[in-house]
Structure 1
Amino acid sequence: MIEKVKHLAIDYGVNETIAPHLSNIVALIAVIVISLSAASIVRRVLFRILESYAGKTKTNWHTILTERKIFDRLVRIIPIGIIHAFAPLFPPFTEWIERIAYSCIIFLVLLAINGLLDAINDIYSKFEISKIRPIKGYLQVLNILSYTIGIIVIISVLIDRSPWILLSGIGAATAVVILIFQNSILGLVASIQITSNNMLQIGDWIEMPKFGADGDVLEITLHTVKIQNFDKTITYIPTHAFMQESFKNWRGMMEAGGRRIKRAIYIDVTSIKFCNDEMLNRLESIQCIHKYIKNKRKEIAEHNKACNIDDCHLANGRHLTNIGIFRVYIEHYLKNHPKVSKEMTQIVRQLPPGENGLPIELYAFTNEILWADYERIQSDIFDHLLAVVPEFDLRIYQKPSGYDFSRGI
């Protein structure tokens, strides 16, 4: 073809020195036009087929594949393949044209594989199981392997040597390779353990104080776990750190559907006393403990009578205390509260008294797990209990402040 163009140019009066260069330029332009035209035709036909397919199916996989530019990268192979096929037209450069074209084809295939792996992750992420079994870390390993193999093949093509020679050289430098890919290897092992043991899922709320993380897991990759903290900052933690450091996962709380309340009210011990008849009559008017006080008074009266207890002193025999009745009141209050779970543990107990008074601890679970709802329910409960304490002739312990001293209290 080039010879024909050269002779034709000479016939039209072109200088014999310029004619070979002109024929090469014409041939090059012709090859470029043919390759670009072929790529354009294939692209139009391919995307028309995809549009037709999109109208017949409800899935959007083809859209994801298109967004990841997989087909676009594969179509680009066509013009390079045509250039490779026409390389013999340029004898002085045939070998290098073929090598470079072949290397470009391999590189485009690598880009297509990369896009395909990303598309697989996008498609998989639309399924619920992706939160339990993320595969992005494994896909990243495949991506690294494909690029490693592809680069070795490209280098072997450019230097015209067998890729096995390069592989044998890499085998001799295994220690260096392991050192370079140390984080990737640790991340892969950690990803396998995290997935197989179901330690971490997308959407889990975790706490990892060492890294300042307290929020929801957004992404689990080969090298890092992305966490959005509750102050909207982002923390990236190495994946292998989850196998070396302790962390708290709140998934169990969310799956159980209840969130724990564990808080104490501190009672001034000097306000604790036995209840006399007047106080018992007053407290008996409280509906939720009316039956308890009535039955308890009857039980204690029968016991003291049976034991011939001298009731001239409260230290003799059995008597109800205001702190004991208050504890029973809290138990009944929690049982009747609509936002406190009836299926989970409820305990109202005394902790050892200390310098801040006698702690009465509430241990229960709300039936709401959202943070704002949980805090509102917990606040409502303690608002009521703190306000009702004086009804039992008890006082909340509070250290004296400057205001108290100024009043001489």
Structure 2
Amino acid sequence: IKSPKRFYPHEHIFSHVTGYLSETLPDRARAMSYSYPGSLHGKSGLEKTFDSYLFGSPGGEIVEVTAAGDIIEVKGRVLPSTGDELSITVDSRLQKKAYEAFQGRPGAAVAMNPKTGAVLLFVSSPGFDPGAFGDDAAKVSFMMASPEMPLVNRIIQMKYPPGSVFKIITAASALNESAIDIDKKIDCQGIFKYGRMDFSCWKEKGHGEMDFMNGFAQSCNVYFYNTALETGVKNLSKYASMMGLDLNVLKDIQGELPTVIPTPAWKKKAHKRAWLPGDTINMGIGQGFLWLTPLQMALAVAGVANEGLIYRPYLVERIVAPDGRIEYEARPEQVKQYNLREGVFKLLKEAMRKVVTDGTGRVINIEGEEIYGKTGTAQNPSGDDHAWFVSFGGGELDDFTLTVVLEHGGKGAAVAGPVSRAIWEEYIKIKNEKI
């Protein structure tokens, strides 16, 4: 039996979108009505989820042969049929630009239209060669053993502490619960003392006096240590869940890891210890027990951009049969809606705009464009810091949200910032060309 070989023109760039094919074991093949032993089936990515659509139907011949195997007569023939065609939402130019911006460094980037959930780019770096799984065992072995883990989809299969991008959640909970006065100033001298413990600000010499807007724009840890204590762990946990950080709603690509929002009850059960004020202080700046996937952070950011509405992310826009019939067409599906008091979203957006115009996120301040953002540097207990940058557009760019994380990258603005800017510039260029 001859099997066709899949050709992947974009190789590494789209590898975590397409996934790859691998030979199916006989027992598994027999359980699949459309398969046969030795046939190739999807093992990851869209190839796996939509395998039954993409596979088509096998052809074959019934032949009479001699004892030596020579064909005497063809008794019957069944022609194979091609599989369905998948149209996806990911923009190839944007995907290529994003992948190249990582320069092989480990990390992830995901962009969405917050109004629909359509995924516009879906990059996990480094990628891999999906075509190697057909006939290059040595290359496959190398990829599987690589310490860079190219086969891991970092968008949904790796969890990181969010660091300062979590300050969006801390700010939302504090504002909505009226836990803080936005005009009250906190004096940051680089250290926050609580009992016998010292908690550092990222700026060693301190920021001086910080109100809410400046504290957010400059990502002042001392300001947010105070804010976390004023707000309380109950509210931090409540809003983390309410704003989407524990969502697992991706259907088009399988393997998404769940996230647990830490609470005092969870810590007591999981660690046999009581929740301490220091845990609340750390949680306020996205450190401690909370770890999440880039996609979960992306959904929370999309929710802020869309003022409380979160849509299911999707990559497959349409499935068309060989005869032209539309077998499936994606429609926006709301998976969460939450409300904040009047004016809170406005304040959050003003603060995120100030990050870009006057704060730590100036690297993505593109002249004439309305972009909102938040940088994050997440301390990593087993290595260098992770670099985060989340952003979304306003005005003509209100159909684009972007989440970028570089594993062991260092400072969010310095490392994830240039990657984010390159993606934003490409998106704006593509959008202007369509006008």
TM-score, normalising length: structure 1: 0.22
Higher strand share: 2
Larger Cα Rg: Structure 1 or Structure 2? Answer: 1
TM-score, normalising length: structure 2: 0.21
